[in-house]
Amino acid sequence: MSSFTLPDFTNQIVDDGRFHLTEILGAGNYGVVYKALDLSSPPNSPAFYAIKCLGPVSPHTAQGCPHDEREIALHSRCSAHPGVITLYHRFTYQNHLFVVLELSAGGHLFEAVSAGAFHQNDTLVRSVFLQLIDVVRFFHESGISHRDLKPENILCNAQGTDLRVADFGLAIDSSCSSPPPKSAGGSPSYMSPESVTLGSESESYDPKQSDVWALCVILLNMMSGLYPWRRAHDSDAGFNAFLTDADYLRSTFPISDQLNELLERCFRPVPRTRPTLLQLRTEFVALEKLADYTPTTAPGCVPLDAIIVLCLVQLYRLCTLVIVVVTALHPRDVAVL
């Protein structure tokens, strides 16, 4: 269900008069999230929740579409974990399905990264990354693959702590014997190579391994605010550089040689050759040094000012070539110019 087809329920009183939907907090492909005041809470100590509208329900069963029902079922299975946004209950209103969720007091991890909460703070990076590993490990042990792990789906306070994973819209039950998904979905920068090509050429898709891949991209994002590539495909310049240059990560991100070696294995194109989530955790804990903030220019890397000069040179050459071609085709016009 696309959020663009959903009505705007702002200022509506829902759930048998209990909640007032005060404002829209966010919208995605699979729903709209509202901030809601609990009208049963004391006026001097109001309680707020996040309420997500998923989509229309069947008029006969009050059930949502299979996608929405799966999201609720899988989120409910994980809801008791302290690292997951709590899902309290569901209700219908004007033939639409809603779920009542815990409201995070802060923002999401992307905002904390952008604000510099993790800048040269290895202790915080270690703590947060291990928290994320443990939450995802709980998912996998519960037979669930999240498939859309990214900083925007990880809620936290301004300091980047007290994490809560949210948004199970793309999660699947990886413990059942149902046919594998035909597409992965998710955000391209965090998707594994087999996720990017799923449905076309990939035959090795493992949703759990794809979650591990996303975690490692998030780690680099926390440490630098950057992405290693736009998408993990050999047509992408960043990913192609990683595949052909063993020093790409080390020269691009402020990481130690030890972490570089670990991530090199975690980002191997073939899923079965990558460390498992448990192996990743064990090796990450054992790292003596996480970051290296010494400014370096690795072989093959060009400083920014040199890149600008090269671009100007190439532009000059291109203009010269255009003039030569135009002169050959229209000599009189060029002569006039």
Q: Which residues are annotated as a binding site for ATP?
A: 52
- In the block, which residue shows the tokens 């006039």? 336
Residues listed for the chain: 337
Bridge partners, 172 (sequence order): 145
Note the Cα 112 to chain centre separation in Å.
Answer: 14
Long-range pairs of 292-300 with CB within 8 A, sequence gap ≥ 24: 292/254, 292/255, 292/256, 292/257, 293/120, 293/254, 296/251, 297/251, 298/247, 298/250, 298/251, 299/247, 300/245, 300/247, 300/251
Question: Which tokens sit at 16?
Answer: 């048998």
Distance CA 138, CA 52 (A): 24
What gap in Å lies between CA 229 and CA 237, rounded to an integer? Answer: 7
Out of 8, 38, 68, 148, the active site residue is 148
The distance from CA 124 to its chain's CA centroid, rounded to whole angstroms, is: 19
Our answer to whether residue 148 is catalytic in this structure is yes
H helices of 117-206, in order, are 122-141, 193-196
CA distances from 258 to 14, 32, 104, 240, 286 (A): 53, 42, 35, 22, 10
Q: Which of 4, 3, 2, 9 is nearest to 95 (CA)?
A: 9
Which residues line the annotated binding site?
52
Torsion of CA 57, 62, 68, 69, to 10 degrees: -160
Question: If you ran DSSP here, which 8-state letter would residue 283 be given?
Answer: H
Active site residues: 148
